[in-house]
Amino acid sequence: MIPQALLRNALYLLRGAEFTVLLSAGSIVLSTVVGAIVALSHAFGPTPLRILVELYLFLVRGIPLLILLFAMYYMLPYAGIDLNPIAGGILVIGIYYGAFMSQVFRAAILSLPKSQWDAARGLGMRLPLILQIVVFPQAFRIAAPPFVNTCMQLVKSTSLVSIIGLWELTMAGREAVERTLAPFQIFAGVALIYFCICFSLASYGRYLEKRMQYVH
Amino acid sequence: MPLDLNFIVRNLPLFGRGLIVTVELSLLAIGLAMAWGLVVAFGRMARVRWLRTVAGAYIELVRDTPVLVQMYFIYFGFSMAGFGMSGFLSGLLALSLQNGGYIAEIYRAGIESISVKQVEGGKALGMSRWDVMSIVVLPQALVRVISPLANQFIVIIKDTSLVSAIAVAELTQIGKLLTERSAASYEVFLTIAVLYLMMTGIVSGLSRLAERQFAIYH
């Protein structure tokens, strides 16, 4: 039994995967920047800023990503903003996942023992310097495994943009199914490509986690 | 742009219909995922080696592929194979299968977080394997899994929005239809967002309540 429909469309799906990777990479960069800013404001910012951050986290935690994608798709044109759909997708996914990234970073920053802060302050260091040479080098290591995990969730979430009409792997799969009428084969192939990406990320995350244990 | 509250009130029955479908789907998916997760978790911790391998592979498979692709696989695949399922059923199946994998790992983490010394202590007192499990381990593990379980429930509620892509008239789909019909996109998305926030808010509130209720102090 040779999956002919899948083999004939393999290249087409791989081209879709290229867009998925592109979309994921852009969103990961944006969400990392957003997450870092939000985490620092959440941990060290003044109270009004912290309340704003809490509100943002509350909204992202409770509203489905798809709703925000739809909102962008339907509402931005009314607001007179004409955004390239790929840029729009990256924007929404990046801001959405920025919330999850910020949780990862904040947990890493706050996981350092208080004694290190006290020691650094005792040596006369100010906050930026403490962060730079005491907190960040250690927090990076602690944050690495959950960061990779969040990236994997993000890659899976990029499939949602196919619902608002963006062309990437899932959309390519749907088109291939319409042509070949072989949904099991095609979607199994689509799932396999996602699996390859996500499984490598998950394995890398586990490797980082294991290596972490030797540090302490 | 002023909000047209009248529009929201006028369409409340329609939103209500979508909300009911979303709540139904969420509750069913949560129930099924919890039950299926239990089966997978026991497979993952079984004494038989091949059972552990199969359960582990299953968890990896469902967690490393998007739930939307799983829904398409079930919905379009089975309809082409001749025994089509409704969008609701396909979505329910995909949500239960994927979240069953996640929930199995939550159960396992909860059970394994109970110290081995307690299990050994129980055995030394002459308790059977089942007694150790049901009297010593599970009551403590259950308290510890409340919060991660609630998080997973919230993920499930949010993911029910995806079945709008396979023609189920739930909240998101209703919102899409209303937007296309009326162009009142602000009102529609605001209402839907608030409804989702209410559902997820209820879950996180209940979980906090349950955690306080069943807290074990060490």
This complex has an ipTM of 0.91
Tell me how close the Cα of B69 comes to any Cα of chain A, in angstroms. 7
Q: The domain A4-215: what is its CATH number?
A: 1.10.3720.10
User: Measured between alpha carbons, how far is residue A32 from residues A68, A129, A148, A151 in Å?
Assistant: 19, 21, 11, 10
Closest-CA residue of chain A to B201? A62
Asked if B189 and A67 come within 8 Å (Cβ–Cβ), the reply is yes
Q: Are B72 and A182 in contact (CB < 8 Å)? A: no
Average pLDDT of the residues of chain B = 92
Query: Average pLDDT for residues B187-194, to the nearest whole number?
Result: 92
Query: Token pair for residue A53?
Result: 């951050």
Lowest mean pLDDT among A24-28, A73-77, B60-64: A73-77
Could you count the other beta carbons within 10 Å of the beta carbon of residue B181?
A: 10
What's chain B's Rg over C-alpha atoms? 21
Q: How confident is the model at residue A83 (pLDDT cuts 50, 70, 90)?
A: confident
Give the list of residues 6+ apart from residue B42 with CB closer than 8 angstroms, or none.
none
Q: Would you kindly state where each structural domain of chain A is located, as residue ranges? A: 4-215
Residue where the block lists tokens 């396979």? B166
At A49, the pLDDT band (50, 70, 90 cuts) reads very high
Inter-chain touch B172–A64, beta carbons under 8 Å: yes
Higher pLDDT, A210 or B31: B31
Residue A214 confidence (pLDDT) = 63
Q: Residues B5-213: name the CATH superfamily.
A: MetI-like (1.10.3720.10)
CA–CA dist B146, B208 (Å, integer): 9
Query: Distance (Å, rounded) from C-alpha A102 to C-alpha A147?
Result: 10
| Other Cβ atoms within 10 Å of B203 Cβ, number | 21
Mean pLDDT value of segment A56-73 = 93
Residues B191-200 have a mean pLDDT of 96
pLDDT of residue A82: 76
Residue A130's pLDDT is: 92
pTM, to two decimals: 0.92
Residue B31's CB is within 10 A of a number of other CB atoms, namely 11
Instruction: Compare B186 and A175 and report the one with higher pLDDT.
Output: A175
Confidence (pLDDT) at B218: 56
For B206, residues 6+ apart whose C-beta sits below 8 A from its C-beta are B150
